[in-house]
Structure 1
């Protein structure tokens, strides 16, 4: 199997591990910077070039597309899909998951537990929003924020009103969520591959920090998920249409609450916390789909 890994850098941990795992199973793995690809479109002829070299002969692609380049990254991935190359995560599923508001609406429609959330485009209704949310403390997030950036804990009603006003003054789009006190500055990252949780870790923020992101100095440890937490993670990934996903959730008194579903979850934290070969699980899934596809063509 000839595999394309869409990534900005070959030296990134996740990219390197995927390449190693593919080569360990006897496959050819090529790292392609999606921002250096040229898409060629004409009637009955689709092609793509990477730094001047035509991309041909690929059987599958594993996308590692950063949030800041979702538009172009998914355009490149879509071209692969139209060239009949299997993708570990589809372009539409990635686009869907990157829209935080849309993904929350879809998760809620799927009946999954989640923190109470509000969104508004009207800057003069801060008081009503806070009242509808049940008062402070509240979490206020930028819709476009990643890795814990653009996330604020407003501990009082006055602080919440000021933060919302400030973001609206900057024309920033935000969501407001209830603060889950019993989570104690911790969350769970469940890694899902093809409908199965293959690893999970509990992330805890450093002292004095309510955000648990590892990029913000948080720590990670192995955790054994409850049956309800596993089921919620699988259902959340399925709701987004993602076969590979990092599902972030909070442990609450009313059960697991889904925060976000990530389409390009990092491998370093989860592999180090669990000791599991997550990269190998991903390649195994891609390999199985490739073999199934080849078998169908042979029997056609």
Structure 2
């Protein structure tokens, strides 16, 4: 029997982060017992007589957890996903499964899954051979091209190369540093804009257009971009929901470019920020996430 007041852990390195703070207060408002757990300070013990346990310092935090809300940063993806996986294995409901977190953090893996499911994406190339860089650029339709570090968020690790010469220089440097990257076609008609669609429970709860700052091609709000209202087309709604489903991320942000050939998915974020989308749309996304947890914990436990 699941009590009306549930025990919820928000996995986050800092309770003062806007998204973490919003989720905490919305859950408390609904009468739940909520803790912010710094997952980087958690340890898992395996192979003991009882089932695997999770410790925060000397405290065993494994018992009586009904749900977790992972807010896992890029720099600690592997550790964070391992902690999420153990909570899953021990019977806690999660708004983002460990596999979904790992899939979405690797840009190549994300593109491979979306391509396999025939979800539209920009033309994407992965290679290691520096001797064929110019032909690779031609396969993408020529310069300019987008160069992305495989694991990054908030626009970090995303570069534009305006010519074959500059692309070759950047790519060779990254290869020599053993940095895994992907190359993508530049969608000129997107005009420095993309659409952030926020999904909760595989349903769209909010969306906004993000516009790049004058001195930057990236539209991320953290990079100085601005936001405007947007009305999604039926096709945009469809690909956003499909993306969340195939990646196993019922709560996530899906980023879409508008192109001449229709909407193209460029990324899915398992820990998409709430500040920009709540401020612009006035939608209480944090409350929607808590409502999703409430609805599904009981279903999950049954």
How does the TM-score come out when normalised to structure 2? 0.95
Q: Which residue of 240, 265, 277 corresponds with 2:272?
A: 265
Q: What residue is the counterpart of 1:240 in the other structure?
A: 247
1:18 aligned onto 2:23: yes
Equivalent residues of 1:139, 1:178 under 8 A apart: yes
Q: What residue is the counterpart of 1:37 in the other structure?
A: 42
1:84-163 maps to which residues of 2 (within 5 A)?
84-163=91-170
Q: What residue is the counterpart of 1:228 in the other structure?
A: 235
Following TM superposition, where does structure 1 have runs of at least 4 consecutive aligned residues deviating by more than 3 angstroms?
A: none
Equivalent residues of 1:221, 1:274 under 8 A apart: no
Q: Alignment RMSD, CA only?
A: 1.2
Q: What residue is the counterpart of 2:58 in the other structure?
A: 52
Equivalent residues of 1:206, 1:217 under 8 A apart: yes
Q: Deviation of residue 172 (structure 1)?
A: 1.7
Change (3 A) 1:169 1:38: closer
Q: Deviation of residue 187 (structure 1)?
A: 0.5
How does the TM-score come out when normalised to structure 1? 0.95
Q: Deviation of residue 44 (structure 1)?
A: 4.1
Equivalent residues of 1:114, 1:259 under 8 A apart: yes
Change (3 A) 1:157 1:29: same
Structure 1: where are the runs of 5+ without partners?
A: none
Change (3 A) 1:23 1:207: same
Q: Which residue of 276, 281, 286 corresponds with 2:288?
A: 281
Equivalent residues of 2:195, 2:209 under 8 A apart: yes
1:71 aligned onto 2:78: yes
For this pair of structures, how many residues does the alignment match? 295
Q: What residue is the counterpart of 1:28 in the other structure?
A: 33
